[in-house]
Structure 1
């Protein structure tokens, strides 16, 4: 029985439990219920049944407390299948093959151009939603057209996006280790290497043992260390300009420099040797356990700092976003979307069903519903403060992480807040400032939103050639000539056609005369 099929079995008991919780005066009591709104007009047959497959970024499935309140607010019955991030793509592709997708599926940004997804769109497996959007006031008013265009297929809208900042990339590091070793924050690529070396061999935790790594990394060439380091080295973001045409990043000298840097860290044991099989959750756990002094990933360090200080109150995590490479300071930039919610016709069988699902997403942008999935239940997870702010009390922070965080991640579509975030600590203020600063140094992908027919047909096969070759180079399995052979194989089995098709697609909307304006930050 699937997650979205089994979720309703427990509903009667859960509704009673929710009522008991909201009325009780037990520990962690609710001093007030969530904001009450007029009940949504019920559709024919009562509340709408909506099944969803959602990415789970934490170790445990969240409590259904918020789900029940969300159902009440939106007049729905939600069947939510939470799938761990580490296996989400495989589960999604299996659902495609078996025809068992629910009414709403999240497709992460890294999967949007996978052949299975592109071919599913092309063959009509998903609803085109563009013609319906103007009927939904919140969606049409709040929608960012540029981000929607970045998520379009063949010039049409098939999905609603969930929004991410253009770049959250950066470095989380042990500030207390730097202080103990009397080192300054790294400002250049060379500085970065020296700090990682000191974090490995300089006994930064002061226990008299050589039991730390400079860097703990994970099996992800995009959101792990590698793509960040490639940006420092001056690599383009997926595609860049070379001799007047778009060229893949892995065909540039800067990409090779990033591989050399990672290989040096691996050879000198400055990073965890099992990084190719380390998951995101494991990476964060090992950093929090004090096994390494740095993660080159993103700037969202609040949770890491909190977890680390539970075991070591003297520990402190800090962040930085600017590392100077051969061509200045750069980070790689995204498209503004974390992915898309798509609506399979196999599950959403009629236009009326689609309209009800879209109405649910429109409701997510209403003030009371948005406050719920952003902050939780007023009185239980936060209190209202002066200046129309939501204040998360320290004693409810962990409760909010268990009961609210996953809904916030999975269901907050457009980046709006009706209540400002109160009680922002100095680290969070620094995070916000650096994310904003990243916009000034972010390298854009000039081919974002472009579709190549060959990539749609053979993308997984071709991408695996480059992914495997990149890892094998860093591990010392391949040398430079071996990597060149794999690159030649990629070109021979379809890569050259992808380059040609991407350039043709770009030329349909742009005139290539000199250096295009949207490559202003490209080295």
Structure 2
């Protein structure tokens, strides 16, 4: 943990040095990118499945042509969408006809299926020697990735969102109307009761001064974001993690602390401090409600992309009021142990899988492609386009030269080269790049928004700590853990408790009894036995 914290501090130090220097050169200590050559090998057709790939690959744009030429391949896109991909892959698994390369979300959502595919030899592991692919090797050495090995092999490559868990910290924040707080003479809440009172006053005390009761206290972009307001009460609940209690690891929903969460959640709802439609709210609806001045607080995320989205809507509805004069990120109070916590998650989100029927030659070519996409040169291609045509680089400075819209902003890479919608995220999400103060990020997100994110991250690093969690449990597959993971939806059950009129603590205890009947205690025993004897 100390080593990870040191790495994050070093990363932020690097980011701030780059900001001060106005420099765009990044990707510290990245391995050199491979040099594609014409004699790379036989021409290969690679079938590839990624969300909405048919739309992205419909036009053979110049970026797609470049990669196919440089790696002597032809992509055969296999269409899936966010709504049908799980069912399609079940069918393909049953028939034994996977695409050569495909994206899925198994290790977090369906570790049992992942284990079954390995047993059935439907997917092939990465080579044990990855020295030929230095950037792929780096991904394989991230602690989260190491925990995903089975029999000392990686049967997929995780799609990295952030290089360390701590960099997820801005994915869960609470925005608050500080001008409303000033109007109502409120200070930052120091405990849950003060928080509840603040939200209630946003609903009932006419904070916008229009003489109407037409505002709510807190709205949320989803139940997952809303969970974060209870992080001082139970950090592992808010981060959807297992927790160690009484010398054993249990899922958060098995902890007695959930009774307090259920009670507080009900209190927010009944007092009127919580949006009465919280369980129906979609992301765009919640953001609109907050930026239109109909809610005093918003549970959402504070990344550069989300900040720019919120600020842009705010400017639409409040052209004469500066967002940063009226809104701030609320620093939630310390937990019972005296510590503030920030949100963490696994470094990866979704994974790349490789068909067991694929040849060694094809596997090698795919890994060469991935190594390039993970390299500084590959990332520049995805972010800026083709060098000499879309941008020029001089003295470590990037100058955008591609065509501009009527607004004066450069035409987006995704509009010029639709294939980058897929290719940009094929090997890695690379979300940490959005925090860099380079020319494209300034255009896409706004310099002030990026600086605000970085300043908040600095505050969290100095004043809070990462929510504790156990790497191996997330992707661990045991018989009963797989059963309850598929059958239990704790947030849905918690919502029903909040909306009910009966005692929330009693209702939650009944839920836990039901979970036990479904195999919860057996799952806990299996997980803890596996942690004690990982090779058994």
Fold equivalence (TM over 0.5): yes
CA distance in 2, matches of 1:357, 1:433: 39
Question: Which residue in the other structure is 2:14 paired with?
Answer: none
2:244 corresponding residue in structure 1:
241
Q: 1:148 corresponds to which residue?
A: 145
* Deviates most, 499-508 or 109-118: 109-118
Alpha-carbon contact 1:232-1:331 (below 8 Å) kept: no
| Paired position in structure 2 for 1:69 | 63
Deviation of the 1:470 alpha carbon: 1.6
| Contact preservation (8 Å) 2:180, 2:207 | yes
> After alignment, is 394-403 or 211-220 more displaced?
394-403
* Deviation (angstroms), 1:319: 2.5
Aligned equivalents of 1:419 and 1:239: distance in 2? 29
Give TM-score, length-normalised by structure 2: 0.72
Distance across 2 between alignment mates of 1:180 and 1:380: 53
Equivalent residue of 2:154, what SS? coil
Verify: 1:396 aligned to 2:409, yes or no: yes
For the structure 1 residues 337 and 436, does the alpha-carbon distance in structure 2 shift closer, same or farther, using more than 3 Å as the test? farther
1:369 partnered with 2:385: no
- Any gaps of 5 or more consecutive residues in structure 2? 1-33
Query: For 2:242 and 2:41, how far apart are their aligned partners in 1?
Result: 50
Q: Does 1:302 pair with 2:308?
A: yes
CA distance in 2, matches of 1:63, 1:179: 52
Secondary structure of 1:276 counterpart: coil
In 2, are the aligned partners of 1:215 and 1:270 still within 8 Å (CA)?
yes
Q: Give the whole-Å Cα distance in 2 for the aligned partners of 1:269 and 1:82.
A: 45
Verify: 1:195 aligned to 2:220, yes or no. no
Query: How far does residue 341 in structure 1 lie from its aligned partner after superposition?
Result: 1.8
Aligned with residue 136 of structure 2, among 112, 134, 139: 139
Q: CA deviation at 1:362?
A: 1.0
Distance 1:174 1:163 in 2: 30
C-alpha displacement of 1:468: 3.6
Does the 8 A contact of 2:63 with 2:385 survive in 1? no
Match of 2:336 in 1: 326
Q: Relative to structure 1, is the Cα distance of residues 65 and 105 closer, same or farther in structure 2, using a 3 angstrom cutoff?
A: same
> Does the 8 A contact of 1:186 with 1:323 survive in 2?
yes
Matched residue of 1:156: which SS?
coil
Q: Separation in 2 of the partners of 1:193 and 1:80?
A: 51
Residues 142, 101 of structure 1: CA spacing in aligned structure 2 closer, same or farther, 3 A cutoff?
A: closer
In 2 relative to 1, CA 49–462 (structure 1 residues): closer, same or farther, beyond 3 Å? closer
Distance 1:381 1:330, change over 3 A: farther
**2:49 corresponds to which of 52, 74, 82:** 52
> Which sections of structure 1, spanning at least 5 residues, go unmatched?
1-36, 511-523
Contact conserved, 1:332 with 1:442, CA < 8 A, in 2?
yes
Say whether residues 1:266 and 2:266 are aligned partners.
no
- Relative distance call for 1:267 and 1:399 in structure 2 (3 A) is farther
Matched, 1:412 2:428: yes
1:443-465 Cα offsets, whole Å, 9 max, x none, are 1212534624124541344423x
Aligned CA distance change for structure 1 residues 144 and 374 (closer, same or farther; 3 Å): farther
Matched, 1:429 2:438: no
Aligned partners of 2:48, 2:86: CA distance in 1, in Å?
14
TM-score (norm 1): 0.74
Q: How many residues matched?
A: 462
CA 1:380 to 1:447, structure 2 compared with 1: closer, same or farther past 3 Å?
same
| Distance in 2 between residues matched to 1:251 and 1:370, nearest whole Å | 43
Deviation of 1:498 (Å): 0.8
Aligned residues of 2:199 and 2:217 also touching (Cα < 8 A): yes
Residue number in structure 1 paired with 2:531: 506
Given that 2:262 and 2:505 are in contact with CA atoms closer than 8 Å, whether structure 1 keeps it comes out as no
Which residue pairs with 2:226 in the alignment? 225
Q: In the superposition, relative to structure 1, how do residues 155 and 491 fare at CA in structure 2: closer, same or farther (>3 Å)?
A: farther
Q: 1:335: which partner in 2?
A: 346
**Cα offset, 1:483, TM superposition:** 2.1
